[in-house]
Amino acid sequence: MRVSVIIIVIACILSACNNQPTNKFKDSVLIKIAEFQDKRQSDSLYTFFKHANPDYRREAVLAFASVQDTLSVDPLLEVLRFDKDVTVRKAAAIALGQLSIKPSAAALWKALQEEKNSAVLRHILESCGKTFKAGDVEHLVLKVQDSLTQEGFAWAYYRLGLRNKADSTIAVKVIELLNPNFGLQIRLAAVNFFTRGARTFPLADEALMKALRNDKSPWIRSCAITALRRMKSAAVSDAIKQSLKSDVDYRVRVGAVRALQEFPLAEVKQELYDALKDENVNVAIAAAEAIGAQATPELASEIAALAKATARKRVRGLLYEASLSASDRAELVSEITNLYESEADVYGKAALLSALGKSNRAWLFINHQLQTTTVPVIKSTAATALVSVNRSRTFDPARKKDFVNMYVGAIKTGDPAVIGIVADALTDPALGYKEIITDYTFLTEAKNKLSLPKDNEAIQPLEAAIAYFEGKRSPEPVKNEYNHPIDWDLVKSIPKDQRVLIQTDKGDITLRLLVEEAPGSVANFVQLATSNYFDGKNFHRVVPNFVIQGGCNRGDGWGSEDYSIRSEFTERHYTEGSVGMASAGKDTEGTQWFITHSPTPHLDGRYSIFAVTESGMDVVHRIEVGDKIIRVSLVK
C-alpha cells in the first residue's frame, strides 16, 4: 500500500512540475514491447517483426540489443536484409553487433553485400568491428562510399582494435583518418584506436603528435597524448611536456601526466612535481599516481615532504603511498597513522589508510580499523589495504597464518564489501592460501548470509573462492533473476525531456532524462530521486578524465538495495556528459550512476545510458571523491 502511495505522489509531482508533452509510452503497444524486452521474452518480441507499423518493428528489433539472445541471429538477419524501413534495418544491425558471436558475424557479412543505404551500412560496419576476426575488414570495398560509411569503417577499425583483432594494415588506414579534414566522429574513432585498441605501429607517432598540436577538439588531443605514452622518443617527450605546460583543457594535461609516467623519473620529475599544483585537482591526482609508479628510495623523503605540504587529501594519500612504496620507514608510518587519527573527513582517512597498505609495518593497525570501525568506507578501504600488504613483494611468508586469521575474521564480519575483497585475495595462487586453509566452511557460512540481488558483487568472488578451495572450476557469474518490474504509470507521467537538478557542494549539474530510450533506468532514478535517496550522499569514485560516480548507500561503491533493474542498450554512444548506470555485469544495475568527463566508446553497449548532462559540466570536471550530493530534484 505504501509503495502505491509513493508512486501516486511522484506522478502528481511530475504532472504539477511539467507542462511538456508526455513521452512515446502513451502508446500501449510500445509499453508491451518494452515490457517484453525487460522480461527478456524473445518469442513475444518476434511477433512484432512483421508488424505493419515500422515504429513497432524498430522497437522490437532494437530490444535485442539489450536482450542479446544468441538464437535471434536468423530472425534479425531476415529483418536486416528485407525490411523496407531504414530505421528498422539499422536497429537490426545494432542488435546483431551486440551478440559478438560467429553466426552474427556471418549474418553481418551477408548484409554488407546487399545493403545500399549508407546510414544502415554505417551501423553494419561498426557491428562488424564487434564480431569479425582479424583480416575480415581490411580489403572490404563497398559500392556506397560517403561520409557515413567512412564513419562506419572508422568505428569498425576501433572495435577491432579494442578486441585486439587489428594489424598493421588496418593501423595504416586509421592513421589517415586522423587528418583534421575528416569529421569529429571519424577522428574520435581513429584516435581511440591508438589509445585503447592498438599497439605501437610505424608512423603513428607523427600523426598523433600532429593531432596533439593541431586538433581543435580536446577529446582528440587527450586521446592522442594518451596513445603517445607507448612511443618513447625525445620528440614525443618534448611534445607531451609542452602540452602539459600550455594546453588549456585539463583533460589533455591529465593525459600528459599519465604519458610522462612512461619516461624515466629523472627526465620528468620537475614536470610531475609542478603538476601537483595544477588548478584542476584531477591533474594533481594523476601526477601523484605517476610519481607513485616510479618512486625510488632516494626520492622517498622528498615525496613525503610533498605529501605533508599539500592540502588536497587524495593527492596527500597518493603521495604518502608513493613514499612508502619506495621506502617503508617506521617514522613515516607513524606520521601517517597520527594524521589518520586526527583526520575528521572519512574520505581523507580512507586515503591515508590506503597509503598504509604499502607498508609491511602497518598490518596490525589496518586490521584494527577493519575490526572496530562502523564506517563502510573505512571498512572496505582497510580490507583492500590489508590485501595490498599481503601482495607486497617484501611480504614475510611467516605471517601467512596471521593473515589467515585476519582474513577469516574479516569474512566473519559479514560486511559484503570486505567479503568480496578478501575472497578475491584468497583465490590468488601467488598468495598460496590453498595450501594453508583446510577448513573453508567460513566461506560457505558467509555465502549463506548474503542474498541476491543485493549482494551480487560480493557473491561472485565468494563463489569463486569456494570453488577454488574445492578444486573445481570457477562458476559462471551469478545472474540476477527478474525482480523489479518497470512502473509504467510512472514512466507515462515523465515528460520526454524531463530535467533533473543535482545540487552539489561544488555547484549545480542539470541532466536531461532519456525516458524514451531507457524507461526502466529513468523510472528507477526518478523513484530514488523523489524519495530523497541521493540527498546527502557522496561522490565515492572519481577517475580523472573518465567518470564521477555516485548513488552508493555505503559511500564506497559496494552499496546497493534489494533489487536490480535490467540493462537497456540503444544506438547511443558515450560522449562527454553521458550519464550511465553502474553495474557488476549485465542486468545488475541498481542505485549507482556515473557521468563521463569525455567520450568513452569502450563503454558503449555495456552500460545503460539514461541521461545526458545539459549544464554544469564545469562542475562535473571539478568534482572530487567525497564531494557531497546535497539534493537531486526534478526541474519544474
Q: What is the pLDDT of residues 386-396, one digit of tens each?
A: 999 999 999 99
Amino acid 133: pLDDT: 86
Mean pLDDT (the chain) is 94
138 vs 79, residue with greater confidence: 79
Do residues 459 and 478 make contact, with C-beta atoms less than 8 angstroms apart?
yes
Class of domain 40-176: mainly alpha
- Residue 137's pLDDT is 78
DSSP string computed for 411-430? HHT--HHHHHHHHHHHT-GG
pLDDT digits (tens, 9 = 90+) for 276-313: 999 999 999 999 999 999 999 999 999 999 999 999 99
CATH fold of 203-291 reads Leucine-rich Repeat Variant (1.25.10)
Sequence-ordered alpha helix ranges (H) in 39-146: 42-46, 54-62, 64-67, 73-82, 86-97, 102-114, 118-131
The fold for domain 488-634 equals Cyclophilin (2.40.100)
Residue (of 549, 522, 552, 519) closest to 534 by Cα position: 552
The label of the residue with cell 612504496 reads: 325
Ramachandran region, residue 542 (left: φ > 0; alpha: ψ -120 to 50; beta: rest): beta
Residue 470, Cβ density class (10 Å: 0-12 exposed, 13-18 middle, ≥19 buried): exposed
Identify the pLDDT of residue 20.
56
User: How far apart are alpha carbons 530 and 512 in whole angstroms?
Assistant: 16
The answer to whether residue 183 scores a pLDDT higher than 60 is yes
Q: pLDDT digits over 153-171, tens only? A: 999 999 999 999 988 888 9
**Is residue 126 over pLDDT 50?**
yes
Which pLDDT band holds residue 260 (cuts at 50, 70, 90)? very high
Question: Does position 615 have pLDDT exceeding 80, yes or no?
Answer: yes
Q: What pLDDT, on the 0 to 100 scale, is given for residue 12?
A: 53
- Contacts of residue 276, Cβ cutoff 8 Å, sequence gap at least 6: 284, 287, 288, 306, 310, 315, 319
Numbered ranges of CATH 1.25.10.10 in the chain: 40-176, 203-291
Residue 377 has pLDDT above 70, yes or no: yes
pTM of the model: 0.95
Report the range of poorest mean pLDDT among 214-218, 229-233, 374-378, 549-553. 229-233
How high is the pLDDT of residue 199? 66
Cβ-contact 276, 315 below 8 angstroms: yes
**How high is the pLDDT of residue 11?**
52
For residues 14 and 564, the model is more confident at: 564
Question: pLDDT band for position 498 (50/70/90)?
Answer: very high
Residue 134: its pLDDT value, please?
77
Q: What is the pLDDT of residue 333?
A: 98
| pLDDT on residue 1 | 43
| pLDDT > 50? residue 3 | no
403-412 average pLDDT score: 97
- Per-residue pLDDT averaged across 71-84, rounded? 98
pLDDT at 5: 47
Per-residue pLDDT band at 2 (split at 50, 70, 90): very low
pLDDT at 182 over 70: yes
pLDDT at 434 over 80: yes
pLDDT of 408 reads 97
Query: Across the strands, what pairs with 613?
Result: 511
Q: Which residue is listed with cell 585475495?
A: 425
